[in-house]
């Protein structure tokens, strides 16, 4: 969590924010996961599907279109072309922000 705070993906709440009882306030449950092959490195996992008061953050946000294509099509393309390019989106998801008015 310290790394998320250092990168401004998260921040500590003020005393006023902690005492606020806003209906638009969400505390995102999180936990760490370790890989048995890399026991020193921990990965933070956030559970946006966890419900509080019968509603989860996923329930409150608007859903966009599903742009994911089926995996078999991608696998066939890897065999069809002589060169493939991949990317690491490790830092993508923590940088997604939700506007306060939403």
Question: Per residue in 34-55, pLDDT tens?
Answer: 988 888 888 888 898 998 888 8
* Higher pLDDT, residue 60 or 98: 60
According to the 3-state scheme, what is the secondary structure of the chain?
CHHHHHCCCCCCCCHHHHHCCCCCCCCCCEEEEEECCEEEEEEEEECCCCEECCEEHHHHCCCCCCCCCCHHHHHHHHHHCCCCCCCCCCCCHHHCCCCCCC
Q: What's the predicted TM-score (pTM) here? A: 0.53
Judge whether 42 lies within some domain: yes
Task: Name the residue range of residue 74's domain.
Answer: 2-95
Is 24 within 8 Å of 53 (Cβ atoms)?
Answer: no
pLDDT for residue 11? 84
Judge whether 62 lies within some domain: yes
Judge whether 35 lies within some domain: yes
Judge whether 102 lies within some domain: no
Q: How far is CA 44 from CA 28, 36, 73, 97, in A?
A: 12, 15, 30, 17
- pLDDT single digits (tens) 57-79: 888 888 888 877 788 887 888 88
Domain count along the chain: 1
């Amino acid at each position: 969590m310290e790394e998320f705070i250092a990168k401004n993906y998260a921040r500590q709440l003020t005393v006023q924010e902690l005492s606020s009882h806003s209906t638009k306030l969400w505390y995102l449950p999180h936990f760490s996961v370790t890989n048995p092959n890399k026991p020193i490195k921990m990965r933070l996992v956030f559970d946006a599907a966890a419900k509080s008061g019968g509603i989860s953050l996923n329930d409150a946000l608007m859903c966009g279109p599903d742009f994911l294509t089926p995996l078999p099509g991608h696998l066939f393309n890897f065999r069809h072309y002589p060169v493939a390019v991949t990317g690491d989106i490790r830092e993508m998801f923590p940088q997604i922000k939700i506007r306060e008015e939403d």
